[in-house]
Amino acid sequence: VGADILRGGGNAIDAAVATGFALAVTHPSAGNLAGGGFMVIRLADGAVITNDHRERAPITATRDMYLDQAGNVIPGLSTYSHLAVGVPGTVDGLLSVLDKYGTMSRDAVLRPAIRMAQKGFVIDRDMARDLEAQLPGMQKYPASMQVFSNQGKPWQPGDVLVQKDLARTLDLIRKRGRAGFYAGRTADLLVAEMQRGGGLISHADLSEYQSVWRTPVIGQYRGHQIVSMPPPSSGGALLVQMLNMLEPFDLKKMGYGSADAVHLMVEAERRAYADRAEHLGDPDYIKVPVERLADKLYAKRRFADFNPARASRSTDIGAGSWPAESPDTTHASFIDKEGNAVAYTTTLNLSYGSKIVAAGTGMLLNNEMDDFSAKPDTPNAFGLLGREANAIAPRKRMLSSMTPTIVVKDGKTLLITGSPGGSTIITTTLQLIVNVIDHGMDLSDAVSSPRVHHQWQPDVILYEKQGLSPDTLQKLTERGHQGLTPWPYPRGIGDANSVMRVDGGFAGMADPRNPGGAAGPTR
């Protein structure tokens, strides 16, 4: 859809918006209308901006809403229940972006999605397997079963998935814009679904919701400019912080996948994710020290205890701190032929979100509330810890790891990247950048090479099975790294669909870890 829009004369923003709506139809595990996302845009004239359409907590959400009377987290409530659903942001975000920077009509960018929902698309083998695995979780929601099963039986490869309710919801957005989603029929059905299932989202939540234009986090890495997502994503701030910690070291000489390189990166990741738990949250609610976290001097101090010969213990690594500042003095993958670039990441949170289709709308509801810290230092679904900064409050946005990023070299867009993968998003994006800048890989290698991940707690190194050779594993163990764990899931870490400038044009690369992906033509 994105490539068609570009061929039809649309710009990168039109292509991103049309693709966003199309993904709600063809990639229901994460594409969405009732979820949220972040978009990083770099216009052909070099101007950079981000759109935050992250979900937020309903007005009646409370700090301890997932705790029982003894103060313990009730398993499943923040992930698979109507209470798991945050107020959706995607539709307002995509329409705002189109309105401000697009060139095409709402009608033109929504038509392909409506057509695919209306007429259906062929389910491939991977999607059939994926949907079959979802059925037990969807059993108790008749509206979900109606769409994602064939009358209670799994869809088979080659079947055609028609989504009439979703087509109608998309068509209302086409005709009425924002009001086609946040008011009228769609809003009534969504609120009715909440009332039926004990959820909190009300008409006031929907009508109040607005996406926000935010200034990107900008860093410098070996002569490249890094443009990424600010809070409520933790991605951009952590990415720049980790790159700052790596910059004094000769990663190129160490070599991709060497024990030295993995050790260095893991130690940077350990410190950055410890800061995430303490300092990151919704900037509309807490003061997030982005400038501090992204500062090169801070990285130098934070990494001063790095020992090239020895792994540190996560239990010995606290969050970074600094003297209080006075409040009045403070210092903060699409491309078109014109050079407009967009990095866009969107989500329902876990695969297929809450698994709840709001009856009559055809759309899956997110379970983004799990990205809040339900209780201090208690892991969420990604094992991430959080504290006060990311506690639940009415209308607050939950902290994210989504890291849509644009890398600029000599004033020109070099790389557009980002990834799904919860807590692994930030380290996947980091590895893409290091693979290109330090290891000199072409895009295909940078995207497909095996990945390694560490997130401070739990104190384990996760690695894709072919990612670390036996002698590298041995050397890391000797240096004191514990919990070296092969990535346990059939699909690899992340899905970093990226675009990179190459001689004479751009290369697009769909991450081979997700067989359903595709990239537009290189020119």
Which parts of this chain interact with ligand GLY (CB under 6 A)? 347, 349, 368, 371, 400-402, 422
Between residues 50 and 400, which has the closer beta carbon with respect to ligand GLY?
400
Burial class (CB in 10 A: 0-12, 13-18, 19+), 119: exposed
Burial class (CB in 10 A: 0-12, 13-18, 19+), 518: exposed
Nearest-angstrom CA–CA distance, 399 and 230: 11
Q: Is the CB of residue 369 less than 8 Å from the CB of residue 57?
A: yes
Nearest-angstrom CA–CA distance, 154 and 145: 10
* Secondary structure of 169-220 as H, E, C letters: HHHHHHHHCCHHHHCHHHHHHHHHHHHHHCCCCCHHHHHHCCCEEECCEEEE
Between residues 19 and 423, which has the closer beta carbon with respect to ligand GLY?
423
- In the complex, minimum distance from the CB of residue 60 to ligand GLY, in angstroms, rounded to a whole number: 22
Q: Of 90, 103, 329, 345, which one is the catalytic site residue? A: 329
Between residues 347 and 417, which has the closer beta carbon with respect to ligand GLY?
347
Between residues 425 and 452, which has the closer beta carbon with respect to ligand GLY?
425
- In the complex, minimum distance from the CB of residue 76 to ligand GLY, in angstroms, rounded to a whole number: 17
- In the complex, minimum distance from the CB of residue 40 to ligand GLY, in angstroms, rounded to a whole number: 14
- In the complex, minimum distance from the CB of residue 400 to ligand GLY, in angstroms, rounded to a whole number: 3
- Please give the sequence-ordered ranges of beta strands (E in DSSP) within 422-510, or none if there are none: 452-453, 461-463, 484-486, 498-502, 505-509
Q: Which residues of 49-65 are buried (b: 16+ CB within 10 A; e: fewer)?
A: bbbbbbbbbbeebebeb
R_g over Cα of the chain: 22
Distances (CA, A) of 230 to 93, 242, 298: 16, 15, 18
Classified as helix, coil or strand, 308 is coil
Beta-carbon contacts of 375 under 8 Å, excluding residues fewer than 6 positions away, are 64, 66, 67, 71, 72, 73
Backbone angles phi, psi at 522, to 5 degrees: -80, 145
In single-letter form, the type of residue at position 412 comes to K
Nearest-angstrom CA–CA distance, 383 and 483: 15
- In the complex, minimum distance from the CB of residue 402 to ligand GLY, in angstroms, rounded to a whole number: 5
Nearest-angstrom CA–CA distance, 464 and 431: 13
Between residues 93 and 422, which has the closer beta carbon with respect to ligand GLY?
422
Q: Is the CB of residue 13 less than 8 Å from the CB of residue 41?
A: yes
Which residue is nearest to ligand GLY, using beta carbons?
400
- In the complex, minimum distance from the CB of residue 263 to ligand GLY, in angstroms, rounded to a whole number: 26
Between residues 347 and 472, which has the closer beta carbon with respect to ligand GLY?
347
- In the complex, minimum distance from the CB of residue 273 to ligand GLY, in angstroms, rounded to a whole number: 12
Between residues 350 and 519, which has the closer beta carbon with respect to ligand GLY?
350
Nearest-angstrom CA–CA distance, 82 and 99: 32
Between residues 11 and 401, which has the closer beta carbon with respect to ligand GLY?
401
In angstroms, how far is the first alpha carbon of the chain from the final one? 17
DSSP label of 420: -
329 catalytic? Reply is yes
- In the complex, minimum distance from the CB of residue 482 to ligand GLY, in angstroms, rounded to a whole number: 26
Annotated catalytic residues are 329
